[in-house]
A and B are shown apart, each in its own frame.
Chain A
């Protein structure tokens, strides 16, 4: 069957199989031979499409780095209010993981594997949130709240942890006690809880908080 595939089709097939294997075993747990076997080609043919296992891994990550358009849509369509944009971005991110949880599995493997380039890739994905939260809070948190600087620095990290855990709970380890809550409901509740937890009344924020240019 594989002999009938065109070059681009074969490349896509290899990429897809590699994605599944990297998601279940991580970069170091998979060999080129194993990927080649999964798509019924020889390693030589695989190397015609990808120079190395690392380049194949990079190509898998590249597939997942295309959410930017969706963030632009969010900003254009949801306005610039802090909580609206944060909720919109969260929804985009969560939906993208729900559509293809492999990227979450690959991220968790990469945390254990400790490859600096890969860690930087995933950190950069979260940076959209941490940048946005730090910038927004720095602009709009009252100056007289206790530990303002620490709050701003840690709020992004807190949000990242909450979102990642919700994704793990809903996409990787479905829990009976959360079965009645959809990802959308959970993420909406999460944003509200997050705002409240950093000492901001959402209604109050709605009135005053916009990101200034």
Chain B
């Protein structure tokens, strides 16, 4: 799980900025690569679920660490 290919810190940002930035970050990845996202907006949990459902990318994990929300998204092949 620690082998991320890229990391995005969206702390302090409200929807839709974390989604926008994640979309850009994912577009720079190869299929199968893993992006770590850190966010503080509680709504980001539902946002990233919806985002992955719509884009076909895989939400590998979604959890909380030290009061922040941490997501791992694998880019669709």
Contacts and interface: CB of A to CB of B under 8 A. Distances in A.
Interface string A63-78: 0010011011111100
Contact of A211 (B15, B24, B28): B24
A68 B43 contact: yes
Contacts, number: 71
A213 B50 CA distance: 19
Contact of B8 (A65, A71, A213): A213
A89 B16 contact: yes
A131 B46 contact: no
Contacts of B43: 65, 68
B76 interface: no
Looking at chain B's contact residues, the main secondary structure is helix
A69 B17 contact: no
B22 A131 contact: no
Interface in B44-67: 46-47, 50-51, 54-55
B41 to A, nearest CB: 9
Contact of B19 (A65, A71, A135): A71
Looking at chain A's contact residues, the main secondary structure is helix
Contacts of B51: 72, 75-76
Interface centre among B13, B14, B21, B25 (most CB of A within 10 A): B14
A89 B16 CA distance: 9
Interface string B1-23: 00000001000011111011111
A87 to B, nearest CB: 13
Given A76-B55, A211-B24, A135 B13 contact: yes
Contacts of A68: 15, 43, 46-47, 50
Interface residues of B, number: 23
Contacts of A132: 14, 16-17, 20
A202 B39 CA distance: 31
Given A85-B20, A213-B8, A72 B50 contact: yes
A69 B24 CA distance: 19
Contact of B14 (A72, A85, A127): A127
A38 B72 CA distance: 48
A132 B20 CA distance: 10
B17 A210 contact: no
B24 A85 contact: no
A213 B24 contact: yes
A72 B19 contact: yes
A62 B20 CA distance: 24
Contacts of A124: 14
A197 interface: no
A212 interface: yes
A96 interface: no
Identify the 8 closest CB pairs spanning chains A and B, nearest first. A213-B24, A213-B25, A71-B16, A127-B14, A72-B50, A128-B14, A213-B21, A75-B16
